[in-house]
Structure 1
């Protein structure tokens, strides 16, 4: 078992206590549900922007992105490049729309537009997405802390989860936002510190890193060929645009923040501030991955313990050391990318700095999880409990419901994290799950906003068809080999693209067909007369 020095443990403990105290401080202001869910519209735009940035920059970014860059190249950075276009659409159309409705839930309008089923469907998609997000982040943070401490991943999830639940339940959205402001700054400084430590320990410095990276094509953005079966530049660009459009336009985590701003202009500013900070900040994590790749190319013997660990995990118990060594020799960087940064932290970062960097990684996890818990509780309260169980709930009861729901979703996120133990890539799992759950929700939302002719029938038929497409694309790999021609030929990241377009285009075409048919029926009697 690894044992962190007392100084590092003290720094981590001080950070966790500090986050809990923030929740205690803001708990005095949460006297009603409006304050708990919307902070009574009192948060400045710059703080909301940093909060959204911190939610984007989760531990999936902190750990998954360097692992991805280590194992392949900068192809995943195209996701960040797609953000400005999605932000432009959100700031111009979505933010004013939500501010005008005044509804704290992002999904209330779907019921007004298409009926109760649409709202319920979108809520189900959102909650599943949040559980997948929180689970992947719990898994990522426990992976790092296990390497540093030797404690079980389950125990780590439990301790960090309890701290997150306490300050989120007590402080509400205001505590979430202000802790995320601090966490956003902390995690960015942590990334810069890691780059400095890698470069300072690298023989030949930056020039050697660039030389190795160029030689092994570590800085490429992917193939520019029009191939949608692989993770080409265009596949990641399309995936990034649609998922970011979903984030800015339909994700309760972000929509709820628009209501905390003092005006629509401040809310729009927060979206752009998030983008202009996140794009260069995310680049830092790709730089970390490339730096680590070059470092271990120069020092290959230092990565052997990780390769042996991964080989042993794959083979399981009861195998010989020779079998483990033979498998380890065949492993590629992509097979152990997620474990590289925790390994570097264990072996190369001096006492004191480990505590700071672990606190930064904790902040990356805690900001996104706390945001997801608060948003999920708000959606459950507004869109499920008040809608179907107790519409006349008073404010005191609603506040208690928000507290209990926050705890429940926090625990559910931990359970999902435990279920993910053993996955190969954090980033890949999160991208695939978010694409599956978000595709139908975004398509339905766009249909309601853009296609004014679409009604309840058209939306229901389109959603049913789109859902069938998403299920087929997600599960067709299970089709037996003799029927392989029935499998989805596209890359998994295309699920959200095809699913969204299937619902939107199908609904719009059905509405157009029905409208034309109605016109023809009106014209026919006129011709007879």
Structure 2
């Protein structure tokens, strides 16, 4: 723990004031709900692509990926390799579909296809996903800033949350997108700067990093055997494809951006710009993680403080010094990977540059949280309040509700982040929660798009069965030993794969069965 030098604090404060200033600037045009949610469809495609890229490049990437690479290998990079295929499907089918509907919500069409229950179910899944995403991002930024400042994680989340709420409420989606354009540049520059500083402090430079990385198998993408129990290459590839398909095809964060574009072509191009920016950027963070592993392998004494801190966090407050020491010795790299980059920043980055890098991490968090707040408020207003409580809402009331909802979801995201304090890996928590919540709505969405003959009855049965399968895969690990044979043996990242396919395939099967029975009756 240490306090930040005045120069670094000034840089961070200037950055935060600048972000709020952007919100104030765009608040001049933010006079109606269409401007707040769609920016009147006047945003250029390149800016939307940068915005989507910034949303992907959250603090989960900035801190979680280096921590994952430090504690393991490059297996999680396979997630990024799945993006081009998901982007192709989205740009070819999903973007034209959403642009043609004209509906700001990604879930309105589900009611047209299957009834109100389908729309409501997808909305609930989306909102839970957003709370998990915002919570993990709040936690990630607080973890980093706590190491730098010594302030409590709760206090950091509250201060950051209030700043994000202010500029998001004032500026709407236009402020979100343009601040994310700036944030995309800042966070990418910050990552390059961190890697440069690691190499500069590394005896032997790049060649030594490669040597140590090879000897520890740090560059492996995972086993290529058909193994769906461990985190193999194929498990992460399948998980990545389905999650990215959900991101580009069902996530209101991205669907809303398609509507801000000047044309469907510009919206499609924005997806590809995001993919080609994110692939090398995510690789950069894995390189950072492996480089940090090599650095600390050559400086093992520096690890002791981190292990000691983690041991204190995991043990009861009344634990003895001997218990803390024994716990610290037993910890493996995967147990403290998320704390490695903040520790390096505290101890090795010069005054002034720390402020720039913290601003980059802040931008990584702010872009994801602000877009999550805006999209959650939009979905709540359109799909819940207007649908069930006040269909004849006036324009003034609609805009006020969007503002209030943005604040509420920002506060709920903060609460989720506080609840995550103490988790082992940011990336693992986010992957698990997003897979659980996204599986159901993606399966239902694909059923509605692909199987045009499927009606309400078949979709409802398929969804209920799919939910039961998702719940079983999620919680069966807690079954007593006498029921061990009923536990899910697949990797937890397979939940979205199995859950999505279950709903889709069961729905198709029931539809074919119904059609066959109708033909037999004729």
CA distance in 1, matches of 2:318, 2:263: 63
The question of whether the paired residues in 1 share the 8 Å contact of 2:314 and 2:422 is answered with: no
**1:190-209 pair list within 5 angstroms:** 190-209=190-209
The C-alpha deviation readout for 1:225-254, integer Å capped at 9, x for no partner, is 111010000000000000000000000000
CA distance in 2, matches of 1:404, 1:466: 34
Residue matched to 1:236: 236
Q: Does 1:268 align with 2:268?
A: yes
The C-alpha deviation readout for 1:213-234, integer Å capped at 9, x for no partner, is 0000000000011110100000
The C-alpha deviation readout for 1:393-431, integer Å capped at 9, x for no partner, is 011110000000000000000000000000000000000
| CA deviation after TM superposition for structure 1 residue 319, in Å | 2.3
CA distance in 2, matches of 1:201, 1:278: 27
Residue matched to 2:36: 36
Residue matched to 2:456: 456
**1:123-162 pair list within 5 angstroms:** 123-162=123-162
CA distance in 1, matches of 2:327, 2:400: 54
CA distance in 1, matches of 2:332, 2:158: 32
**1:381-400 pair list within 5 angstroms:** 381-400=381-400
**1:409-488 pair list within 5 angstroms:** 409-488=409-488
The question of whether the paired residues in 1 share the 8 Å contact of 2:436 and 2:470 is answered with: yes
Residue matched to 1:166: 166
The C-alpha deviation readout for 1:444-472, integer Å capped at 9, x for no partner, is 00000000110000000000000000000
CA distance in 1, matches of 2:300, 2:208: 15
CA distance in 2, matches of 1:323, 1:418: 26
Residue matched to 2:70: 70
Q: Does 1:120 align with 2:120?
A: yes
The C-alpha deviation readout for 1:261-314, integer Å capped at 9, x for no partner, is 000000000000000000100001000000000000000001110011111222
Q: Does 1:181 align with 2:181?
A: yes
The C-alpha deviation readout for 1:29-69, integer Å capped at 9, x for no partner, is 01110011000000000000000000000000000000000
The question of whether the paired residues in 1 share the 8 Å contact of 2:443 and 2:500 is answered with: yes
Residue matched to 1:215: 215
CA distance in 1, matches of 2:288, 2:395: 48
**1:490-505 pair list within 5 angstroms:** 490-505=490-505
**1:331-410 pair list within 5 angstroms:** 331-410=331-410
CA distance in 2, matches of 1:425, 1:372: 21
The C-alpha deviation readout for 1:47-96, integer Å capped at 9, x for no partner, is 00000000000000000000000000000000000000000000000000
CA distance in 1, matches of 2:301, 2:477: 38
RMSD: 0.6
CA distance in 2, matches of 1:74, 1:421: 25
CA distance in 1, matches of 2:329, 2:199: 27
CA distance in 1, matches of 2:349, 2:151: 19
CA distance in 2, matches of 1:315, 1:195: 33
Residue matched to 2:96: 96
CA distance in 2, matches of 1:346, 1:84: 37
CA distance in 2, matches of 1:371, 1:318: 42
CA distance in 1, matches of 2:207, 2:325: 33
Residue matched to 2:57: 57
Q: Does 1:256 align with 2:256?
A: yes
| CA deviation after TM superposition for structure 1 residue 324, in Å | 1.6
CA distance in 2, matches of 1:489, 1:227: 11
| CA deviation after TM superposition for structure 1 residue 100, in Å | 0.3
Q: Does 1:293 align with 2:301?
A: no
Q: Does 1:311 align with 2:311?
A: yes
Residue matched to 1:3: 3
The question of whether the paired residues in 1 share the 8 Å contact of 2:466 and 2:500 is answered with: yes
CA distance in 2, matches of 1:365, 1:313: 24
The question of whether the paired residues in 1 share the 8 Å contact of 2:32 and 2:396 is answered with: yes
> Under a length normalisation based on structure 1, what TM-score does the superposition of the two structures give?
0.98
| CA deviation after TM superposition for structure 1 residue 317, in Å | 1.9
CA distance in 2, matches of 1:313, 1:146: 13
| CA deviation after TM superposition for structure 1 residue 316, in Å | 2.2
| CA deviation after TM superposition for structure 1 residue 520, in Å | 1.1
Structure 2 residue ranges without an equivalent (≥5): none
CA distance in 1, matches of 2:420, 2:315: 18
CA distance in 1, matches of 2:480, 2:49: 48
